[in-house]
Copies of this chain bind each other. A is one copy, B any other.
């Protein structure tokens, strides 16, 4: 089940980096949800390469075709198949790397696992696979917002290397994120981040960072104890994004240094609505959403492909010196933002649909 995610709302992606294309089938989407090609394309445009000078220069229009499951702008309740053709694959660019095991790439592991791998591009380990996730996320969002129009998911680049954005999650605005190429929550900082990324690229190097994500106006009750706690499925979703090395919710890795009396979120009635005075729980208690904002942070490593020369090995038992080819992002963070949002929408949509059979 390696390429399928979700329990009721199920997302299955397919496609290799340098193959015919990339696609996704969404099964379990409810009928009669408004969905158009434009809604999906809009999200893909936020992910596609070449949006600015700090992303990969691979030229891919990433135009999506909806092949099934939608008629006249409404879902049918049947599987929604969507596809993006690969246009600018340049297998030749990978020739010298064909038999190399690039450091911190998946080449060696795929070979060891399957005994075969596409000798060009990253295959399934390529960031192009995430096209399917973003397309499916657009469907998930349409489902969720048709039920909860005010519910929203916002992700942003919280840090690039040592540049940190300190805007607190509840003050983050989508406009601000759109207004800078680095996709951080402060457009002025974004300019600095972009410069930092260019500087690393020019030095033949790459950078990592943190993506933060907040879910607003989430209904109470999402998440399935015991194993499919909301934070556990979110962690699964986020840690499945290429280059993600860490996940935390609410107080996260700050929790260990707090005492119970500091950490506990005190309940009170805000009119008839139950709320908590603090939100160290990150909107989730016992694996179930409590109605407060769900706050997550994801650590991303620097892109493994660097243009500086590196020692490594190849699949012929030789040690070699490798200089990075192909076209890659000097920093994955800006393009990770719509992917993080997509995975959050997918998880939330799945739990929302699962929730419908919890009570009669």
Contact = CB atoms under 8 A, between A and B. Distances in A.
A122 B194 CA distance: 49
A114 B129 CA distance: 31
A207 B262 CA distance: 10
Interface string A310-322: 1111000101000
12 contacts: A1-B27, A1-B28, A2-B27, A3-B226, A9-B357, A14-B81, A77-B358, A77-B359, A209-B256, A246-B246, A247-B248, A267-B313
A167 interface: no
A86 B143 CA distance: 28
A313 to B, nearest CB: 5
Given A67-B20, A260-B304, A265-B103, A239 B245 contact: no
Contacts of A299: 248, 252-256
Contacts of A77: 113-114, 116, 358-359
Nearest to A200: B259
B246 A239 contact: no
A313 B302 CA distance: 46
Nearest to A353: B357
A87 interface: no
Given A226-B129, A313-B269, A12 B15 contact: no
Contact residues of A: prevailing secondary structure: mixed
Contacts of A74: 116
A80 B74 CA distance: 28
A313 B13 contact: no
Interface string A322-349: 0000000000000000000000000000
A246 B245 contact: no
A220 B106 CA distance: 12
Nearest to A146: B360
A288 B105 CA distance: 10
A253 B251 contact: no
A204 B107 CA distance: 53
Given A101-B274, A232-B235, 18 more contacts: A3-B79, A4-B12, A8-B354, A14-B69, A16-B68, A31-B359, A77-B113, A106-B287, A206-B259, A208-B258, A236-B236, A240-B287, A245-B255, A259-B302, A266-B310, A274-B313, A353-B357, A356-B356
A210 interface: yes
Given A1-B27, A68-B15, A299-B248, A285 B232 contact: no
A235 B247 contact: yes
Contacts of A114: 31-32, 76-77, 358-359
Interface string A102-135: 0111111110111111100001110001000000
A255 B248 CA distance: 14
A193 interface: no
Contact of A226 (B124, B247, B301): B124
B251 A285 contact: no
A300 interface: yes
A23 interface: yes
Contacts of A21: 67-68
A355 interface: yes
Nearest to A101: B267
B78 A357 contact: no
A123 B78 contact: yes
Interface centre among A244, A250, A261, A360 (most CB of B within 10 A): A360
